Structure 1
Amino acid sequence: MIQPIPPAPRPRNTAFTPLTDDWRQWIAENRLRECTPESMVVTMAGAGLDPEECRQAIARMESDPAFRAARRMQQVQRKLESVTLNLQKLWESSPFYGRIEKRTSPSRDEFIERYVLGCRPVVLTDVARDWPAMQRWSPADLKQRFGHLTVEIQDERNADPKYEENKLQHRRVVPLAPFVDRVMAGGPTNDYYMTANNEALRRPEFAPLLADIGSLPPACDRSQLAARSSFWFGPAGTLTPLHHDTIMLFHTQVVGRKRWRLISPLETPRLYNYNNVFSPIDIDRPDLGRYPLFGQVTVLDVTVEPGETIFLPLAWWHQVTSLDVSLSFSYTNLDGPNTFSYQNAEITNW
């Protein structure tokens, strides 16, 4: 996959665009991606560079000391990638790998061993059986009880392909009652969504929502619920793009259904994860010309129904679509270790 070319406007009084340091970096990056010199020359010549100068620059790159050092580090990286992908191959050898289990009342010990330490997603079908929220929550109830309050939403998402990465730019504080009306009247859309970032449950005015939560899954610390939970509300059609979280979490559907597509963290080398916790791949419309390794990825698929709770193990990739108007409750208050560190790349222009 050849990377996008760096900006390099053609000077007025020269026949060719100059070969700048940005272009030399581009050469190094694309050779590390094993792009052929011939394909690179075609791209560079198409941008106005001298083909012969390009061939010479590509040839010189192979003997550049910094590039040779990068090749050594690449060997180390590829060893780590081979370890994770071999482990993934082992996981996939299980006849049950391709199906996300739906379980009723696993014991705490089984839940910890099989799903937390075993790093396996699962849907728990009975967690919310005694939740007052299951009988009470609805858009109308939300409007009646809390409509006079303001909430934080994401807005104008459709105009930005990277709306989740740029979520702070889409932050809006709006009155809740008109937002409920907007959701109910607007039909399926991804343009606006009240997501986990709203922090409403940290405000005492929204404490009645927490009072509507009953029994919790195994291995949860009730005393941490208020501090480590989030409320979600939005129309059918909202899409949370492919990413991984940095902690483990539960996500309970109260109203509506959500479709979860999940990918093992061991497949990270195939997901082009260059910027923080995000992948540029849309599972619904993968561009295999640009992201060919995704063609080898195994995607798990499950629909979480009202009253069901999905457990997301550590670092599992997921893309989530609301199939209906949706009210959801997520929480990260496991009573064991749930703080982890990641060395995230921060490359935003690949």
Structure 2
Amino acid sequence: MKQKTSVNIRETGIRTIRLESSAIGSLEQYINADFERVVELMAACTGRVVITGIGKSAIIAQKIVATFNSTGTPALFMHAADAIHGDLGMITPDDVVVCISKSGESPEIKVLVPLVRNLGNKLVAIVGKSDSYLAQSAHFVLNTYVPQEACPNNLAPTSSTTAQMVMGDALAVCLIEMKGFTAEDFARFHPGGTLGKKLYLKVGDLSRLHQVPKVSLGSSLREVIVEISSKMLGVTGVVDDQGRLRGIITDGDLRRMLEKNMNAAGVSAADIMSSNPKTIGADELAVNALDMMRNNDITQLLVMKGDQYHGIIHLHDLIREGII
């Protein structure tokens, strides 16, 4: 391999992006009647969408399968080479089969296609050549033709695989809208990930992990310090005799009081608290708590259930859960 020493790296990077952007833009002309029928077919499918391919197209197929599964369309990946050695058995009568190929002429594809047709399943081709064996054999064709790969030798799949992936995304987004797939549905399929947590994790889920720091209006300075220290949240709520929230005291409030050289002997919680503290409902999403903290440049919020004070949510809780 001969190494070039005069490559303009920035120029090459920009050219690659422009070529692939152009390839994506040209796909608009192929969002046609076949595309509409394929979306309707997948939306009505009572089985799974089985997506297959070979080489780089197989990798794109896996990505599309992952997107479908996470957005409410059950899907399976089947490698074209493995399919003709037993994996064909994963296809059930109710499945829709999608075959991805740039040329539509790969030997494995030519063996696989008639087998799928014999099973009686609908076959969708995502293919770059409309006159290929795959395109001519499929029930529906989604054209992903690109005039040029970004590869300088016009060989390595670059623009073509980008086009395949975008076509898969277009299908997925149409299915999301047709099925009325919501953010709550998305969270059900992503319970362990950061995206899912942003959609389902509630403030109360985090605040209940802590003890509730609380003092009364008449509590002494010593009692305030002990409560803040023992609960280890750097803050305490202040309540009246009826248990209603009246204010907040942070460790910062204590430092500012000492800086003013106040006579600590007669100081009560009511003297140093901040009235009208920032609060959030226990049923609010944790990500909303993060927004409030950022907007107000604070690190904790008092948590309420109705008009009752129920605890603290701290910035560290959100960091620990990966919300940030």
Report TM bin, short chain. under 0.3
In the superposition, the TM-score normalised over structure 1's length comes to 0.22
Q: Which has the higher helix share?
A: 2
In the superposition, the TM-score normalised over structure 2's length comes to 0.23
Larger RCO of the pair (alpha carbons < 8 Å, separation 6+): 1
